């Protein structure tokens, strides 16, 4: 059931003779600026633009706090289906207004509060770690420990909790009106990362040719590279291409997983299946990519050796020939001198 739209100024004053200036009659500082925001709030409310109307009303209240504006804020929240915010605003309206709120208005607001309580729920967060950042539906709501249970709208929600050095906690909950539940935030410490393996550098000697140098007036014909080298480079290219295809598929599935996580209508089974698919594709891409790097390294060394062996004997004899292979935790490096 949606609440009936009523002209905003009538809501506060209870009569058509009311003007916004009356709301700020007792306010001295910022009263003109607050009145301007309040007028815009009334105009936007009557145009059914509740989102902007709420912003203008809250700004007016910040500049010149008066319990009367809380009545407006509460009803705009109700029209926007923000039941928990509406409940907080109307309860504060009655507390701050006290005896200034007549019996008829108090009875009306009390009835609305009772209705709002059937559309809201309370969630108590507990954790063995203090200072945990908690978010509700991707919006931050504070750090643990909380002084009291959190009042939120009934319905589907996503709870997220984070803390440096701890794994992220995420949970989906469904709340009915009037529920009171506890959510245990479990954030185990992240495992220690292993130290990187030391870099290993070794020299690969290049065999020296024993054939005699050709006569000075006779040029040595270039030698063809062995066929195995071409096979190695073809294998490198093929592995890299397939790894790229699997990587692109993994990125696409990961975007679909994000959409499922943000879709409150999706099931946990769908999200788990999509996450498993992303993990499989990513692992396959990593394995193929590593194979491409290894094949490329082997092909590079073989090419360098073959090219060096086909050079003139005079050049080979005047330079030291060496190929360096460096293997580290983040990749491989190849180099040499000829």
> Residues 16, 17, 19, CA angle at the centre, nearest 5°?
105
C-beta contacts of 147-152 below 8 A and 24+ residues apart: 149/122, 149/123, 149/124, 149/180, 150/122, 150/123, 150/124, 150/125, 151/84, 151/87, 151/88, 151/120, 151/121, 151/122, 152/84, 152/120, 152/121, 152/122, 152/123
Model confidence over 232-268: pLDDT tens digits?
777 788 888 887 888 888 898 888 878 878 777 777 8
Q: Is 328 found in the same domain as 205? A: yes
Q: Are residues 256 and 296 in the same domain?
A: yes
Residues 226 and 328 in one domain: yes
Within this chain, do residues 59 and 139 fall inside the same structural domain, yes or no? no
3-state SS assignment for residue 167: coil
Domain that holds residue 69: 8-117
Pairing of strands 180-184, 120-126: parallel
In this structure, the answer to whether residues 308 and 205 fall within a common structural domain is: yes
58 & 171 share domain: no
Identify whether 331 is part of a domain.
yes
Q: Does residue 222 share a domain with residue 157?
A: no
Where among 65, 89, 117 does a domain terminate? 117
Q: Final residue of a domain: which of 98, 117, 136?
A: 117
pLDDT of residue 18: 32
CA 48 to chain centre: 32
My answer on whether 166 and 279 are in the same domain is: no
In contact, 230 and 295? CB cutoff 8 Å: no
Say if CB 275 and CB 255 are below 8 A apart.
no
Shared-domain flag, residues 134 and 92: no
CATH at 167: 2.60.40.10
pTM of the full structure: 0.52
Quick one: 25 exposed, middle or buried, by C-beta within 10 A (0-12, 13-18, 19+)? exposed
Mean pLDDT by runs of 10 across the 338 residues of the chain is 51 38 59 92 94 95 94 95 96 96 96 96 92 95 92 96 94 95 92 68 64 56 64 79 83 82 79 85 84 78 71 48 52 55
- What domain count does the chain have? 3
CATH number, residue 21? 1.25.40.10
> For residue 190, is it within any domain?
no
């Amino acid at each position: 059931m949606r609440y009936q739209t009523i002209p905003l100024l009538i809501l506060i004053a209870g009569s058509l003779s009311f003007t916004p200036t009356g709301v700020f009659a007792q306010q001295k500082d910022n009263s003109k600026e607050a009145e301007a925001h309040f007028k815009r709030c009334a105009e936007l409310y009557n145009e059914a633009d509740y989102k902007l109307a709420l912003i203008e009303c809250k700004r007016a209240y910040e500049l010149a706090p008066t319990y009367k504006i809380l009545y407006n804020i509460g009803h705009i929240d109700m029209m926007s289906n923000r039941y928990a915010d509406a409940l907080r605003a109307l309860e504060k309206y009655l507390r701050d207004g006290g005896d200034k709120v007549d019996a008829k208005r108090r009875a009306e607001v009390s009835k609305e509060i009772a209705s709002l309580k059937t559309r809201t729920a309370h969630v108590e967060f507990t954790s063995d770690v203090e200072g945990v950042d908690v978010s509700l539906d991707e919006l931050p709501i504070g750090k643990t420990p909380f002084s009291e249970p959190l009042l939120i709208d009934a319905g589907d929600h996503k709870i997220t909790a984070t803390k440096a050095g701890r794994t992220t906690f995420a949970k989906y909950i469904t709340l009915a009106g009037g529920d009171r539940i506890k959510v245990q935030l479990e954030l185990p410490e992240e495992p220690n990362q292993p130290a990187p393996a030391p870099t290993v550098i070794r020299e690969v000697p290049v065999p020296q040719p024993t054939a005699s140098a050709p006569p000075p007036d006779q040029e040595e014909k270039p030698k063809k590279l062995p066929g195995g080298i071409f096979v190695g480079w073809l294998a490198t290219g093929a592995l890299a291409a397939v790894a790229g295809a699997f990587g692109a598929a993994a990125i696409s599935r990961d975007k679909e997983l994000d959409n499922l996580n943000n879709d409150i209508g999706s099931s946990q089974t769908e999200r788990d299946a999509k996450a498993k698919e992303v993990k499989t594709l990513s692992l396959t891409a990593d394995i193929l990519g590593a194979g491409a790097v290894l094949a490329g390294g082997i092909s590079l060394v073989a090419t360098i050796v073959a090219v060096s062996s086909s050079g003139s004997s005079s050049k080979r004899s005047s330079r030291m020939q060496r190929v360096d292979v460096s293997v580290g935790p983040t990749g491989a490096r190849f180099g040499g001198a000829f």
